[in-house]
């Protein structure tokens, strides 16, 4: 038994000695393999840095396995400004703030600004009339435009109808049928119709059996007409026997027009409405042509529907009003009216309108007559200046033709002898024959285009004959890219 125990202890001792020896040998070997210069590989990231914390990385020597740890510095915040938002009546606002673009952390918190109150203003009530609805009072915010109290429509009122009494016709004056209109807004409900004057019924003693008027006491101007008429007290021409010459008007009884000419001395005149009970509807051809005496103003009665060709040519007419019923104006009706300064067309005319003392045919956009004080409209209502519209107006010194006008017709400024300058638009494509014929004082044409564009404008024969003649025999076209001087003869 003792021998076995000794053997066991001996064996245990031998094993312990061998274990100690192995450890000693291993340590000795490691000491012999230790690096004097490490050969590290790439850094290996163990944890990424954030805006607020450092990261960790390491690397290992490929020779000895030695490990080195290092810190990765934190990145810090990437600051983004949060723009302030103004409050409105409907939404809250915010103050300016900031946050980190990377991690989203709020750096400077935005504060809430309360929504604004509406700035209420009153929308005034509108009383209804005979022609338009009214509105109740309402309110809205003048900051955001929101309607707070909506205005409600109030139905328009009924017309207050009054009667326009009938007027009986007399021998010399037209009558009227009964009519009705609104006393509030003036709208005509039932139009009064013209009843033609009855006309005198004279007996052998020149006494009218209807009105008791006699022809005795009437005086008539002894007028010498350009075509040779001499008028006696019987209203007839002593030379040719022409009849119906009354108060300096020559009447064409068959066509119910007065015609040829007026040669009285009145400075303000209203055209006659009837003759022998027949409505006078026309001003005949050349009716006032070459009238030597000054006629300051002519008022056309409602029965006039037609103004004949050359009706007022070269007359001393200063002002004219075109009534509702005029539907035809003949060629060159106001040709050469050198002292004409006022042209008016009544409102809401079906065919013509006036602007700036210009007579304009609405549908065709043609300016058919102008005068020394005309200002051509710039609103596009005129695209053509009609034949002889300004011809022989020697008192015209300058004119500006606006953009939109494409054509200047024949003889528009013929013999405007005192015209010195004119402005022409780039839109112009044509100048007609005799367009500026014998504008002897015209020296400057201002064209709103280039020289090439001016060359492309169609120009009729002798459009510029004698232009600038009295000022040295020529004129200059001023273009946007230079000037062109033209010698005339």
> Sheet containing 97-100: which strands, arranged edge to edge?
79-82, 97-100, 106-108
Confidence of residue 448 (pLDDT cuts 50, 70, 90): very high
The yes-or-no verdict on residue 389 having pLDDT over 90 is yes
Q: What is the arithmetic mean of pLDDT over 299-322? A: 81
Cα of first residue to Cα of last residue in the chain, in angstroms, is: 165
The C-alpha atoms of residue 453 and residue 338 are separated, in whole angstroms, by: 33
Cβ(371)–Cβ(347) below 8 Å: no
Question: Is the model's pTM score more than 0.85?
Answer: no
Task: Name the 3-class secondary structure at 140.
Answer: strand
The answer on pLDDT for 293 being more than 70 is no
Token pair listed for 324: 């509702």
Q: Which helix (H) or strand (E) holds 31?
A: helix 2-33
Specify the pLDDT at position 353: 94
pLDDT above 70: percentage of residues in the chain: 75
Express each pLDDT in 166-186 by its tens digit: 878 776 565 668 888 787 776
47 vs 56: CA distance, rounded Å: 5
- The stretch 459-475 carries a mean pLDDT of 85
At 108 the pLDDT is 92
C-alpha separations of 404 from 368, 387, 413 in Å: 16, 18, 19
Greatest mean pLDDT range, 1-15, 23-37, 339-353: 339-353
User: What is the rounded average pLDDT of the residues 60-69?
Assistant: 89
Q: What's the DSSP call for residue 471?
A: G
Q: If you write DSSP's letter for every residue of 34-85 in order, what string do you get?
A: --SS--B---EEEE---SSS-EEEEEEBTTT--EEEEEEPP----EEEE--B
Average pLDDT estimate for 355-382: 93
- Beta carbons within 8 Å of 12's beta carbon, 6+ residues apart: none
DSSP one-letter string for 317-386:
B-EEEE-TT--EE-TTTTTT-TT--EEEE-TT-SSEEEETTEEEETTTTEEEE--TT----SSSS-SEEP
202-258 tens-digit pLDDT: 555 556 677 666 543 332 222 233 333 444 555 555 444 555 544 445 545 444 444
With tokens 């000895």, the residue in question is: 64
> Per residue in 102-126, pLDDT tens?
888 898 999 999 988 889 999 999 8
């Amino acid at each position: 038994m003792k021998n076995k125990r000794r053997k066991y202890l001996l064996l245990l001792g031998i094993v312990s000695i061998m274990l100690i020896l192995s450890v000693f040998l291993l340590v000795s070997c490691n000491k012999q393999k230790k690096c004097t210069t490490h050969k590290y590989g790439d850094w290996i990231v163990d944890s990424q840095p954030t805006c607020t914390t450092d990261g960790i990385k390491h690397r290992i020597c490929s020779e000895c396995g030695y490990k080195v740890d290092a810190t990765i510095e934190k990145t810090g915040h990437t600051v983004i400004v949060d723009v302030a938002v103004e409050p409105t009546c409907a939404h809250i606002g915010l103050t300016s703030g900031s946050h980190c673009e990377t991690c989203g952390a709020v750096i400077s918190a935005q504060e809430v600004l309360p929504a604004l109150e509406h700035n209420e203003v009153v929308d005034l009530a509108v009383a209804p009339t005979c022609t338009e609805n009214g509105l109740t009072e309402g309110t809205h915010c003048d900051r955001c435009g929101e309607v707070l109290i909506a205005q409600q429509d109030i139905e328009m009122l009924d017309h207050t109808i009054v009667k326009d009494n009938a007027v009986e016709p007399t021998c010399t004056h037209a009558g009227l049928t009964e009519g009705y209109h609104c006393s509030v807004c003036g709208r005509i409900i039932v139009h009064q119709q013209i009843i033609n004057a009855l006309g005198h019924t004279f007996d052998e003693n020149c006494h009218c059996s209807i009105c008791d008027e006699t022809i005795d006491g009437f005086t008539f101007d002894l007028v010498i007409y350009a075509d040779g008429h001499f008028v006696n007290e019987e209203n007839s021409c002593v030379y040719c026997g022409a009849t119906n010459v009354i108060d300096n008007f020559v009447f064409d009884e068959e066509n119910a027009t007065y015609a040829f000419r007026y040669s009285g001395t009145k400075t303000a005149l209203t055209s006659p409405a009837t003759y022998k009970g027949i409505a006078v509807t026309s001003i005949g051809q050349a009716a006032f042509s070459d009238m030597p005496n000054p006629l300051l103003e002519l008022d056309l009665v409602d029965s006039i529907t037609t103004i004949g060709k050359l009706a007022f040519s070269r007359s001393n007419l200063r002002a004219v009003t075109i009534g509702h019923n005029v539907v035809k104006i003949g060629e060159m009706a106001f040709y050469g009216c050198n002292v004409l300064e006022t042209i008016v067309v009544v409102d809401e005319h079906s065919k013509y309108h006036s602007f700036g003392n210009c007579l304009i045919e609405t549908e065709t956009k043609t300016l058919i007559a102008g005068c020394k004080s005309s200002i051509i409209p710039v609103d596009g209502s005129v695209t053509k200046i009609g034949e002889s519209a300004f011809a022989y107006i020697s008192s015209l010194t300058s004119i500006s033709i606006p953009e939109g006008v494409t054509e200047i017709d024949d003889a528009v400024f013929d013999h405007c002898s005192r015209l010195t300058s004119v402005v022409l638009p780039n839109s112009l494509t044509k100048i007609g024959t005799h367009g500026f014929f014998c504008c002897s004082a015209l020296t400057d044409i201002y064209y709103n285009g280039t020289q090439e564009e001016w060359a492309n404008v169609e120009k009729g024969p002798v459009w510029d004959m004698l232009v600038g003649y009295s000022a040295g025999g020529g004129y200059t076209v001023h273009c946007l890219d230079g000037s062109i001087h033209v010698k005339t003869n």
